[in-house]
Amino acid sequence: MDFLNPVINGFAVVLEPTNLLYCLIGVVIGMLIGVLPGLGPAATIAILLPLTYNVEPVTAIIMLAGIFYGAQYGGTITSVLLRLPGEASSVVTVFDGYQMARQGKAGTALGLAAIGSFIGGTAAIIGLTFLAPIVAGFALDFGPPEYTALALLGILLVATISSGAKAKALIAAAVGLLLATVGRDIFTGQSRFTFGNLQLADGIDFVPIAMGLFGLGEILYNLEERHRAAKAPSKVSNVWPSRKDLKQASGSIGRGSLLGFFLGILPGGGATIASMASYAMEKKRAKQPERFGKGAPEGVAGPETANNAAATSSFIPLLTLGIPANATMALMFGALLIQGVTPGPQLVEQNPELFWGVVNSMYIGNILLLIMSLPLVGIFVKILRVRAAILAPVTALITLLGAYTINNSMFDVTLVVVFGIIGYLMKKFGFEPGPLVLAFVLGELLESSMRRSLLVFGGDPLGFFGRPISATLLIVFVLVALLPVIRSIAKRKFTASTLVTKPDIKEKV
């Protein structure tokens, strides 16, 4: 079995003590920030990017990945105990999880969620193991035109699927692309938008942008956010679900794994959408849908499984195509670039230790998380008592001091504060920072592959439509771009007055 050799070697990478340690650190941090409402996984990863400078690429990504999927486990705890979603991806868990807690079944809800998360996560890793090399093999033939189309489509999908106004998300993406052009033009060597500033000559670093927009911007925004009423966590007893509960939830766990896995792969998909889709599906499938919202175990198990599966499978586009599917993956992309590793189809072949090390670390991470969310859940419930008033200055200081350590320069710290202000104002004015960071990360790839393709096509933009894959991707691009326009025209004709306010869940980054 030639295919399995690198997979098994990957386990050797994971079992190195350093990697195990960083995996543990990652999932513990993930659990913590999942439990603490406020900072989301993207903000935390952004703030901790300086930590990854002095370690091996595989170790760095193992830790960052742990934060990401760990947060999916932790977010459940506050949803169930406090009716306060720790993460956007656990919002729907509130509906039934909190009701279960009120009926004295908090432990069961948490236990089901943990087991579901574990199964969803593990199933997604297995899916990733088999699907990723195939996708990567397929993508090996991609040339610049395909990458141009893929990057364009990726940015567009992330922008249009984000919450809030699509035009604003696209504006944010355009700003990101523009920021990516600052510095020396790779083709001609001419400086662009540097305004004579030497420190801008090499372009703006990804890390201060991410730390500012996601980290500091989020911290500042939270300073004024009204925190929802918190009250005493219900007592958690017996987190081991009974056989009957498990049996009742097993169907939704299976469906959640599958749904989450596929939604996670799609650009712009990811944990939040997966959990909502799973909740909707469970409710639709149920024989007695009226039980939902009144403590139905499926309403907890399904979404929690789906968000974990999606968190894991969203690594597929990143690791196989080099296209991040959401803002958190954009941060992983940035972290890999810092390490001198360009994610893409060659990664599986050229860097098998990294690829399989990261993938296999997720098994270990999920086992650690299962232990933390079943027997050790009491410890994390206690952490709920840490007050935001104390946490905010600590995270702000970590951000500033961490930014300094990147290059030992105050210029980076200043950049972080500047982007922090921009991030805060963006959130205030309804612009999501996610598309900006994603577009910034993809900007250079997009420009260089577009210019290379145009060279190949002799300057004829229609050449993109002469190749089957790039043509298909671009047609999808046009369709996605035009869809909201068509829909809004249709909507305006029908319901100008009966505007239904649908619950708009704010994505915590």
Query: Binding to other proteins (CB under 8 A): which residues in 372-391?
Result: 384-390
Q: How far is the CB of 340 from other proteins (least distance, A)?
A: 22
Q: How far is the CB of 292 from other proteins (least distance, A)?
A: 8
Q: How far is the CB of 72 from other proteins (least distance, A)?
A: 20
146 contacts: CB under 8 Å, gap ≥ 6 = 139, 467, 469, 470, 473
Of 244 and 492, nearer to other proteins (C-beta) is: 492
Residues 186, 448: contact at Cβ < 8 Å? yes
Token pair of 44, please? 């935390």
Token pair of 500, please? 């239904």
Q: How far is the CB of 258 from other proteins (least distance, A)?
A: 24
356 contacts: CB under 8 Å, gap ≥ 6 = 6, 7, 9, 10, 11, 13
Which residue do the tokens 């980076």 mark?
412
- Which one among 376, 460, 487, 495 touches other proteins, defined by CB under 8 A? 460
Of 206 and 221, nearer to other proteins (C-beta) is: 221
Task: Give CA–CA dist 376/360, Å, rounded.
Answer: 23
Q: Between residue 190 and residue 209, which ones bind other proteins under the rule CB under 8 A?
A: 190, 192-193
Of 88 and 266, nearer to other proteins (C-beta) is: 88
Q: How far is the CB of 116 from other proteins (least distance, A)?
A: 19
- Which one among 25, 53, 126, 181 touches other proteins, defined by CB under 8 A? 181
Q: How far is the CB of 384 from other proteins (least distance, A)?
A: 6
Over the window 214 to 233, marking each residue x when it contacts other proteins by CB under 8 A and - when it does not, the resulting string is --x--xxxxxxxxxxxxxxx
SS3 of 452-485: the string is HHHHHCCCCHHHHHHCHHHHHHHHHHHHHHHHHH
Q: Between residue 75 and residue 94, which ones bind other proteins under the rule CB under 8 A?
A: 83, 94
Q: What is the DSSP string of 220-269?
A: HHHHHSPPPP--PPPP----S--HHHHHHHHHHHHHHHHHHHHHHHSTT-
Task: Give CA–CA dist 170/156, Å, rounded.
Answer: 7
Task: Give CA–CA dist 167/152, Å, rounded.
Answer: 15
- Which one among 459, 468, 497, 498 touches other proteins, defined by CB under 8 A? 459
Q: Between residue 272 and residue 331, which ones bind other proteins under the rule CB under 8 A?
A: 292-293
Stretch that binds other proteins, among 113-121, 199-207, 330-338, 423-431 (CB under 8 A): 423-431
Task: Give CA–CA dist 408/414, Å, rounded.
Answer: 12
Q: Between residue 232 and residue 251, which ones bind other proteins under the rule CB under 8 A?
A: 232-233
Of 357 and 420, nearer to other proteins (C-beta) is: 420
Q: Between residue 110 and residue 169, which ones bind other proteins under the rule CB under 8 A?
A: 164-165, 167-168
